[in-house]
Amino acid sequence: MPNNLPIMPFIVALLLLLPIRLGVQSLKKLAFTLWLVGGIVLFIRGTNFLVESSAIQNIPLLAGLVAVSLAIGFGKGKFVLGKTSTKNIERLNQFSEPQKPIAVYSVRSWIIIALMVSISVALNIFHVENIVRGPINLGIGFALIISSLTYLKSFSDTKATAVSN
């Protein structure tokens, strides 16, 4: 698949068309996996953009860009996207019957994901310099990775509740 073709529409179509239904735990595992993999992909892309940028010549600038990106990503992951993950977990816990895989996220979340993918595509279309794209992708990727930990916590909470009952 060409590098500039976003894969997200294919993932959404696959989740929509799969002829299966998933229980709550499977949906949470899918949500965690998509969130984590998306974060890792963006983190790696951001790192690659920085390595390919002119910042690689200037180690203090590169270190500063990485530090700021990771700090912003951590804050966004912990305090913004972490809340989004928590709300999604609560939404998934409300299901009493198995759901189609597309239900892994709410319509609102899918719209937000589409907007984030659109920003990435726009940066590519408008040939934004790697020195700018790198920190953006690195920060968003790190935020997704940090917020995916919310799903892991929900798995351990579920196991603890099951053991105590």
What percentage of the chain has pLDDT greater than the value 90? 62
pTM: 0.86
Q: What secondary structure letter does DSSP report for 129?
A: -
d(CA 120, CA 115) in angstroms, rounded, equals: 9
| Res 124: pLDDT | 85
For the ranges 98-102, 109-113, 142-146, 153-157, which has the lowest average pLDDT? 153-157
Q: Is 46 exposed, middle or buried (0-12, 13-18, 19+ CB in 10 A)?
A: buried
d(CA 131, CA 150) in angstroms, rounded, equals: 30
Query: CB of 92 within 8 A of CB of 24?
Result: yes
pLDDT exceeds cutoff 80 at 160: no
Q: What secondary structure letter does DSSP report for 126?
A: T
Give the mean model confidence (pLDDT) for residues 25-52. 93
Q: What secondary structure letter does DSSP report for 132?
A: H
| Res 106: pLDDT | 93
pLDDT exceeds cutoff 80 at 65: yes
Q: What is the mean pLDDT of the chain?
A: 88
| Res 2: pLDDT | 41
What single letter denotes the amino acid at residue 70? Answer: L
Give the mean model confidence (pLDDT) for residues 16-34. 93
pLDDT exceeds cutoff 90 at 40: yes
What's the pLDDT tens digit per position in 121-156?
Answer: 888 899 999 999 999 999 999 999 999 999 998 887
Q: Is 34 exposed, middle or buried (0-12, 13-18, 19+ CB in 10 A)?
A: buried
d(CA 42, CA 134) in angstroms, rounded, equals: 9
| Res 81: pLDDT | 93
pLDDT exceeds cutoff 50 at 111: yes
Query: CB of 103 within 8 A of CB of 120?
Result: no
Mind giving me the DSSP string for 80-122? IIHHHHHHHHHHHHT--S-B-GGGGS-HHHHHHHHHHHHHHHH
